[in-house]
Amino acid sequence: MKQMKLYAFGKFFAMAAIAGAIAAGCEEKGSDIPYKSTPYAYIGSDNECMPTGGTISVEFSDAPRGCEIGMLVDNDYNTKFVTSHKSFNLIWNGDGSVAVLSYSLVSANDCPECDPVSWTLSGSPDNKSWKTLDTQSGVVFSERGELKKFEISNTTAYKYYRLKIRDNKGSENTQIAEWGLQVAEGTVEFVDIRDRLPELMALASGWSNSDVTPMGNRFEKAREATADDLAWLANASENPPVEAAGIGGNWISCPVNLYPYGSPVPADVNQHAIGDCCMCAVFASLAYMHPDFIKNIIKVNGSTYKVTMYNPKGEPITVAVNNEFICDGNGNISQLSGKNNTACWSTIMEKALMKYEYVYRVDYPIGGIGTEWSAPPFTGCGDSFAFSPESLTPDQMSRVAKTVVDLGYIAICGFRQNDVIVDDPFKSVSAHAFTVMYPQKSGALFACRNPWGGAAGSPDGKEDGVMNIWNDGTVPQLIDFRIVYPGKASDFPKRGVGPYTPPSFSQRSFWLAPHLSSFYGLDSFEL
């Protein structure tokens, strides 16, 4: 990013300021017209950055168009707030008084020298008398889009919170992608499902707990990584063999839009040629309930990406990948992707798992990898259990599904019979994993999403593969569950998880690989 400082000449900004604003990644529309940003923005009660609705404000009106103060709390790592000051005040005025227990900052997408390095957080009941709650200095953001969370000791509810930025890393300008406040009310503490549904847990089976490792019994006999292995995993220039995916193709450089919708959503998970539906369903579950967890474990450095994962002993490691992905002869991504074959966070995480499995050989290659194998490398926890078909009544299934989603567990379901009408016209697919969600329609037991991004029987795929499960006397008896403890993801709860509403996206043909169509007992079809 070029240095940006705005100078006013009468009613006009210098052209250098316009160029600087554009270089900062901001949208300077109508740049020949003088522009003065509004130093405040209103946010609704449904926002995911602040505990309530209210107003966020800054003392200066110099943000370039597209980088105004509202970008600081839009839950989008792709946007940012920019000001041509090293020292300034940010104030959140909430609709009610809340006791903040922690806060977070996210570094912007470029210009490390524009990162804040020192600041003070204070609270006030009246915007006049302020109580210092936390002071930081010498903070370094090592990556772009890096979330740093700071715990504070506070039991007092304040209506106003002020973040006073005192200095940055050296630039004339300061930029921040996101600012968030977390409070006692609305914060989801981890609850063991055995305490919530004790009478139903007696019906559970297939426990994967281990006395040897927190990663679960599937990881007890994993290969031991050498120092060279760890160096290879951390080297983004090193690709695993294509065979690690269980398919053919070539590594081809592709553009990456890490978060096409601003934050991870299930719509970013669209399975193609690799038969790793369980892993895909896990990723969609994390995007549905813990999107900030995904943002936290992926660190961007230009065209390379570092993913925080956990080795078979449950110890954190770094797995780095580049922007080369397995593509077919037509240049289409054969891996997991976002809509319209867009490489995104899910593509990055799938490739990271390829490298991981190539070293540790827990379940190699990843085609056919199970839920119990695919979740722990990212969450650090392999505790899981299952409910087999017909072990639960329909009402019990509804209770289990809604409870696990409410508690933030990774919940996957499947059908033991193929081609059964589930949610007319959508049909079941056997030997396939679906993400469990809250029901979209009143009266449904729960909903589930197909990682294909569409569903068998779907007229156009625009519903993103979501089917409601009804108590129709047939379908519930065909369903089994695999439920995995969320591990590290539970530190990043999403407030107010409800029925999934697919984002608006342009529909394009979705080609299901022939070998998958055959495996699932379907004709090849487009979604």
Written in H, E and C, the secondary structure of 74-97 is CCCCCCCEEECCCCEEEEEEEEEE
Q: Domain segments of the chain: what residues?
A: 8-183, 193-204+383-515, 221-369
CA dist 10 and 17 (Å) reads 14
CA dist 171 and 17 (Å) reads 15
How confident is the prediction for the chain on average, in pLDDT?
Answer: 87
The structure tokens listed for 168 are 């940055």
CA dist 17 and 2 (Å) reads 10
Task: Answer yes or no: is pLDDT of 231 > 80.
Answer: yes
Cα 303 from chain centroid (whole Å):
19
pLDDT per residue as tens digits for the range 349-376: 999 999 999 999 999 999 888 899 999 9
Task: Answer yes or no: is pLDDT of 523 > 80.
Answer: no
Tell me the whole-structure pTM to 2 decimals: 0.72
Model confidence at 493, pLDDT cuts 50, 70, 90, reads confident
Are 72 and 50 contacting, i.e. CB atoms less than 8 angstroms apart? no
The SS3 call for residue 99 is coil
Nearest in space to 339 (alpha carbons), one of 435, 252, 260, 455: 260
Per-residue confidence (pLDDT) for residue 11, from 0 to 100: 26
Domain 8-183 has CATH 3.40.50.9100: no
Identity at 274, one-letter amino acid code? I
CA dist 91 and 358 (Å) reads 48
Model confidence at 188, pLDDT cuts 50, 70, 90, reads very low
Task: Answer yes or no: is pLDDT of 12 > 50.
Answer: no
Cβ-proximal residues to 302 (8 Å cutoff; 6+ apart), any chain: none
Q: How many helices (H) and strands (E) does the chain have?
A: 11, 26
Are 246 and 367 contacting, i.e. CB atoms less than 8 angstroms apart? yes
Distance from the first to the final alpha carbon of the chain:
40
Model confidence at 310, pLDDT cuts 50, 70, 90, reads very high
Per-residue confidence (pLDDT) for residue 145, from 0 to 100: 86
Task: Answer yes or no: is pLDDT of 55 > 60.
Answer: yes
Question: Is the bond preceding 425 in cis, omega lying within 30 degrees of 0?
Answer: yes
Alpha helix segments (H runs only) across 290-364: 291-297, 345-360
Identity at 260, one-letter amino acid code? P
Task: Report the pLDDT averaged over residues 290-316.
Answer: 93
Task: Report the pLDDT averaged over residues 334-347.
Answer: 95
Task: Report the pLDDT averaged over residues 101-105.
Answer: 94
Cα 186 from chain centroid (whole Å):
19
Identity at 352, one-letter amino acid code? A
Task: Report the pLDDT averaged over residues 64-87.
Answer: 93
Task: Report the pLDDT averaged over residues 418-428.
Answer: 93
Alpha-carbon dihedral sign for residues 165, 170, 174, 177: negative
Query: Does 320 or 145 have the greater pLDDT score?
Result: 320
Task: Report the pLDDT averaged over residues 13-20.
Answer: 35
The structure tokens listed for 373 are 């194998």
Per-residue confidence (pLDDT) for residue 492, from 0 to 100: 81
Cα–Cα–Cα angle for 274, 279, 283, rounded to 5 degrees: 120
Are 432 and 416 contacting, i.e. CB atoms less than 8 angstroms apart? no
Per-residue confidence (pLDDT) for residue 302, from 0 to 100: 84
Task: Report the pLDDT averaged over residues 53-70.
Answer: 93
Task: Report the pLDDT averaged over residues 83-97.
Answer: 94
Percent of the chain whose predicted confidence (pLDDT) is above 70: 88
Q: How is residue 270 annotated by DSSP?
A: B
**Per-residue three-class SS string for 453-487:** CCCCCCCCCCCCCEEEECCCCCCHHHEEEEEECCH
Tokens 């990682």 map to which residue? 451
Are 429 and 449 contacting, i.e. CB atoms less than 8 angstroms apart? no
Q: Please indicate whether the domains covering 8-183 and 193-204+383-515 agree at the CATH topology level.
A: no
pLDDT per residue as tens digits for the range 495-507: 667 899 998 876 5
The structure tokens listed for 6 are 């705005």
Cα–Cα–Cα angle for 65, 71, 77, rounded to 5 degrees: 120
Per-residue confidence (pLDDT) for residue 29, from 0 to 100: 42
Q: Which segments of 28-115 are extended strands (E)?
A: 40-43, 54-58, 81-83, 88-98, 100-106
Task: Report the pLDDT averaged over residues 219-232.
Answer: 96
Written out in words, the top-level CATH class of the domain with range 193-204+383-515 is alpha beta
Task: Report the pLDDT averaged over residues 266-280.
Answer: 95
CA dist 390 and 216 (Å) reads 26
CA dist 78 and 97 (Å) reads 30
Task: Answer yes or no: is pLDDT of 4 > 90.
Answer: no
Model confidence at 34, pLDDT cuts 50, 70, 90, reads low
Q: Give the number of residues written for the chain.
A: 527
CA dist 160 and 357 (Å) reads 48
